[in-house]
Amino acid sequence: MKLQTLIFFGRSGSGKGTQANRLIKFITDHDKDGKVLHIEIGQKLREFAVRDNYTAKLTQKVMNEGGLLPVFMPTWTWTNLLIEKFTGEEHLLMEGLVRHSSQAEILDSALKFYNLKNPTVILINVSSVWAKERLLERGRVDDTSEAIDRRMAWFGANVVPVIDYFRNNGYYKLIEINGEQPVEKVHQDIVSMIDWKDD
């Protein structure tokens, strides 16, 4: 199995985390010696927000209010993780990294710096109505109706142009998956559309 660079996109509530975890299990089941570096920005920011420093307290305040963090925070988070953790000898799964067009070229430059071949962008397509229902069902403290609506609006205004950036960049393969299916069917669709064979 060749090393994979997989970048997940989708609205909040689309199941990115669930599918990333299923894909990690698939990879480790089929590549016994393979390692996976999973960079999930939402979780990393929540972990950071409980630290005892000024930036963490500001981060926690924004997140508790269901607000959107400035773009430097997720960028700092994933770039720091790549620098500290990535060895070039593992599969790389990333979700929630790029939430604004200003970050797309930063990620592009990072992947090319590490000489990663044929990164795959996985777009899990769900409607905003479908996603909102799922978010309200999970009942997290920052998942108020108003906060979800802000995130949906942010996705349309800022993340969709990022997806178009990768769609129109020949360095990437972009696959689109219908996320409004049973979880296992979404997983099977993703697996079937990734090129796993060594060159």
Q: How many domains does the chain have?
A: 1
Residue 186, domain member (yes or no)? yes
Q: Which of 28, 159, 35 shows the shortest CA–CA distance to 91?
A: 35
pLDDT band per the 50, 70, 90 thresholds, residue 6: very high
Whether 47 and 38 have beta carbons less than 8 Å apart is answered as: no
Q: Are 122 and 177 in contact (CB under 8 A)?
A: yes
| pLDDT greater than 80 at residue 66 | no
Question: Could you give the CA distance from residue 125 to residue 177 in angstroms, rounded to a whole number?
Answer: 6
**CATH code assigned at 16:** 3.40.50.300
Cβ neighbour number for residue 54 with a 10 Å cutoff: 8
Confirm whether 64 is domain-assigned: no
Domain region containing 126: 5-40+87-193
pTM (predicted TM-score): 0.91
Give 72-131 pLDDT, tens digit per residue.
998 999 999 999 999 999 999 999 888 888 899 999 999 999 999 889 999 999 999 999
> 63 falls in which pLDDT band (50, 70, 90)?
confident
